[in-house]
Structure 1
Amino acid sequence: MRQTTEFDSHSRATRLPNGVRVVTEHMPQSKTASLGLWIEAGSRHEAAGQEGMAHLMEHMAFKGTARRDALTIAKELDTLGGLSNAFTSREATCFYIRVMDAHLVRAFDILSDIVLNARIDPEELGREQAVILQEISMVEETPEEKIHEDFWAAAWANPALAHSITGTPASVSAATAASLADWRQANYRPDAITVVAAGAIDHEALTDLAAAAFGHLSALAAAPAQPAGLYTPPKIALLRDWEQNHVIMAFPSVGNASPDRFAHTLLATLLGGNMSSRLFQEVREKRGLAYSIYAGVNGLSDTGLLEIQAAVDPERTGELLDVVAAELAAVADGAVAAEELDHTREHLKGLLYLGAESTENRMMRLARNILLFDRQIPLEETAAALDAVTTADVAATAKAAFTEAATGLCIMGPNAALP
């Protein structure tokens, strides 16, 4: 029996008997719809030797089904005139598309076909493994990505969190059609599948489509959820033949489901989330130390890191670290005034409401709320949570996070050395 929950006059969720969820947000003025098929299976759901399988499965979904070969899939998606893509994160895989409302049924048919019925042909698999090996090589040659991959790998004691989403050349090359099919069967379970749509959507009609496509799947027992494990702050200096030294500093943060996430997000944003932020002004505008410097929370459901990243002239690396340390200390000592916090808060609320104009953004936001909280969170509730954060909260958050023992640091470049 279907179980339906109505969150508000425009948002509903229905759970099919086998556990598949269908969640929609109707936007009355929209003539387009954004549809996402979300599977709670990402790199975190890979055991030793399986590294990269979630990402590899995402690629293989577009290589053909019993009804469509790879070219047909590409042509059909192009013919819809919409925007389609897919991505793999540490905790989920998403296949999504934005189309005119008249094309939604066809879009659902294509996405559900590639998710359910992707053929894992050994010859196609070999070609796609070669593509992913090139993708891994690209990361190795992109300093901003390379430093982040190496830092993240060293920052976690739990291998499931530490390893790259793309996997390693060895693990990708070792995957076989049989091992990938086994991983898919274990992880693409009905209870892990959520159909999410926003825009010109008829909830009942979409639920019927989902029931027809996914209703035959048998419920399977899920493996017990594994805790994130310990953050192990690394101190790394690696020599690379690059023009600049690339730097990451990181500190413990909270998970995306934590009520404290709003204070951490405000803290990261006022430090380095926009052009008026403290680090952008001090590092770039006042001293010309870096072209860009960024701070943000890199969060999972149950843990996260507040990361600061920049690239700097090798001879000025020490100066950069000193400037950043001074700003962190000032914020922890209560230097953020009410006016600065209000400015940052209005920036984030502006992004929140501006993003709500897009059906794709609404679909993505709805999906993340459902996966994290099993409910729709109104925009007003998020805005109110941002409004509730005080300058004392920001200072306390900074003081707890910005300790020497919790500081992770990675420097990569031509004269990389730890201070």
Structure 2
Amino acid sequence: MISRSALSRGSQLALRSQGASKLAQRGFAAVASPKASYEPTTIAGVKVASRDDNGPTTRLAIVAKAGTRYQPLPGLTVGLEEFAFKNTQKRSALRIAREVELLGGQLSAYHTREALVLQANFLRGDLPYFTELLAEVIAETRYTTHEFHEEVEHIIHLKQAKVNAAAIALDAAHSAAFHTGLGAPLYPTSNTPVASYLNENAVADFAAAAYNTANIAVVADGASQGGLTKWIEPFFKGVPKQPTGQLNATASKYFGGEQRIAKTGPSSFVIAFPGSSLGAFQAETAVLVGLLGGESNIKWAPGFTLLSKASAEAPGAHAYASNYAYSDAGLLTIQINGQASAVRKVAEESVKALKALVSGTIAQEDLVKAISKAKFDLLAASETSGSGLVHAGAELIHGGKPLQVAESVKALESVTAEKLTAAAKALLEGKASVAAVGDLYILPFAEDLGLKV
């Protein structure tokens, strides 16, 4: 049973937070400074990154080198994700759920192409309980046959059925760009014979290879290093020091190419180029993504970005730019979704806009807007529990250090129109990775757009 003292900490903290909220209201007009970067350290052999603004809540995550690029067989990452917070050697899944609800906490498990993330959000005073729970999940989960067939396998099939054209196109672009490793799909497609690869024993073997101090990092937002040291040392003693088994650890290599997949329903088209990686932040790439944009910042307004203007030429499709940053590679993408004929028109206009950056000049006003958008995206990712937390952990498990926010902001501010033009020119002169999913009779080939593949 969970202790009375553990539950009372939440009540005490709630009372204290009422006074803190009044102070926050009085300081509302003050200029806010960016949150500090995550500070890396090592505690009892475990790689740790933390930052603390003395707020009332904490986000604690284990980031494991268990993303889809590392799985030796299809579906293992998803299988391991779905086994999170099931029965362990000490607690049943029901007990975990009841204890977490009594403390008002939240648990989640999700994955990227490089990492599997086990995350807990909770009241600051409950750090001991959740540190123990996360350590228990990675060291003592029971990979039982009945849970695999009754819950895990069923959920995997449901997720396979939900994979849409946009997700398939993005996976196909990664496959064209990197082939294996980062080219593996985030979720196994419905055509993948998962049953022939996936069972509880295969998932347990993958866990033994991934869940160890050599392949994990603990990231905390809202906890001090002193507090983490106090609880990581005793609770992570049972986590293996070395992996049992091998991960698929092939280094990424960019190839470029084209994939076309016929599918009924809405169409999706992805144009991708080498982008900015986690270990080598490229300010020009971030600003170029801001300039390309696609998503309007103001409701009912088309926006200033190049892709917003391209989408306005063909109602029925929308486009947006992203940079997917990985430990040893990056992929800058333009994704267009909608009706096939509109998607084709927006793809043509998008490539024209990219080529115009090389042959023309970038207006100073547009440059300022793009830099501001890039700064906002960087700082927003750093502040929330999403990509900033995951990127900090991913950097640690790959031997790097978390992104230095202040330095990156300065780099963005130094980007000039000439640097953006040079970046766009380098993209167009290199090989693109193009993926078309939907009505292939209408969707263009890379050659039709003047792209090299």
TM-score by length of 2: 0.80
Please give the alpha-carbon distance, in whole angstroms, between the structure 2 residues aligned to 1:331 and 1:188. 46
Q: Among residues 242, 245, 250, which one is paired with 1:226 in the alignment? A: 250
- Kindly provide the amino acid, as one letter, of the partner of residue 168 in structure 2: K
State, as a whole percentage, how many aligned pairs show the same letter.
22
Please give the alpha-carbon distance, in whole angstroms, between the structure 1 residues aligned to 2:38 and 2:252. 32
Deviations 1:101-159 (CA, angstroms, capped at 9, x unpaired): 122222222222212211100111123112102211211xx2222222333334333x2
Give the structure 2 partner of residue 34 of structure 1.
Answer: 59
Kindly state the Cα deviation for residue 349 of structure 1 after the two structures are TM-superposed. 1.9
Deviations 1:32-61 (CA, angstroms, capped at 9, x unpaired): 1111111122111122xx222122112112
Equivalent pair of 1:43/1:54 in contact (CA under 8 Å): yes
Please give the alpha-carbon distance, in whole angstroms, between the structure 2 residues aligned to 1:377 and 1:256. 8
Equivalent pair of 1:245/1:416 in contact (CA under 8 Å): no
Please give the alpha-carbon distance, in whole angstroms, between the structure 2 residues aligned to 1:164 and 1:281. 28
Query: What pairs up with 1:13-52 in 2 under 5 angstroms?
Result: 13-17=40-44, 19-28=45-54, 30-47=55-72, 50-52=73-75
Q: Secondary structure at the match of 1:309?
A: strand
Q: Secondary structure at the match of 2:214?
A: helix
Give the structure 2 partner of residue 174 of structure 1.
Answer: 197
Give the structure 2 partner of residue 295 of structure 1.
Answer: 321
TM-score by length of 1: 0.85
Query: What pairs up with 1:262-341 in 2 under 5 angstroms?
Result: 262-275=283-296, 276-285=303-312, 287-341=313-367
Give the structure 1 partner of residue 154 of structure 2.
Answer: 130
Equivalent pair of 2:256/2:433 in contact (CA under 8 Å): no
Please give the alpha-carbon distance, in whole angstroms, between the structure 1 residues aligned to 2:379 and 2:330. 25
Give the structure 2 partner of residue 73 of structure 1.
Answer: 96
Kindly state the Cα deviation for residue 218 of structure 1 after the two structures are TM-superposed. 4.4
Equivalent pair of 1:195/1:210 in contact (CA under 8 Å): no
Equivalent pair of 1:269/1:277 in contact (CA under 8 Å): no
Kindly state the Cα deviation for residue 178 of structure 1 after the two structures are TM-superposed. 2.5
Indicate yes or no: 2:425 matched with 1:399.
yes
Equivalent pair of 2:176/2:434 in contact (CA under 8 Å): no
Give the structure 1 partner of residue 141 of structure 2.
Answer: 118
Please give the alpha-carbon distance, in whole angstroms, between the structure 1 residues aligned to 2:49 and 2:284. 29
Please give the alpha-carbon distance, in whole angstroms, between the structure 2 residues aligned to 1:10 and 1:391. 28
Give the structure 2 partner of residue 4 of structure 1.
Answer: none
Deviations 1:334-361 (CA, angstroms, capped at 9, x unpaired): 4323321221111222344455555677
Deviations 1:157-212 (CA, angstroms, capped at 9, x unpaired): 3x22222233354235532332222221122121212111121x232232232121
Please give the alpha-carbon distance, in whole angstroms, between the structure 1 residues aligned to 2:430 and 2:227. 55
* Residue 403 to residue 293, structure 1, CA distance change in 2 (3 Å): same
Q: Secondary structure at the match of 2:110?
A: strand
Kindly state the Cα deviation for residue 408 of structure 1 after the two structures are TM-superposed. 2.0
Give the structure 1 partner of residue 31 of structure 2.
Answer: none
Indicate yes or no: 2:182 matched with 1:164.
no
Indicate yes or no: 2:414 matched with 1:388.
yes
Q: Among residues 276, 279, 289, which one is paired with 1:257 in the alignment? A: 279
Equivalent pair of 2:273/2:331 in contact (CA under 8 Å): yes
Paired residues in the alignment total: 400
Kindly state the Cα deviation for residue 386 of structure 1 after the two structures are TM-superposed. 0.8
- Kindly provide the amino acid, as one letter, of the partner of residue 245 in structure 1: S
* Residue 381 to residue 59, structure 1, CA distance change in 2 (3 Å): same
Deviates more, 1:93-102 or 1:327-336: 327-336
- Kindly provide the amino acid, as one letter, of the partner of residue 311 in structure 2: R
Runs of 5+ consecutive residues of structure 2 not aligned to the other structure: 1-34, 297-302, 449-453
Q: Among residues 102, 121, 145, which one is paired with 2:125 in the alignment? A: 102
Equivalent pair of 2:165/2:267 in contact (CA under 8 Å): no
* Residue 213 to residue 91, structure 1, CA distance change in 2 (3 Å): same
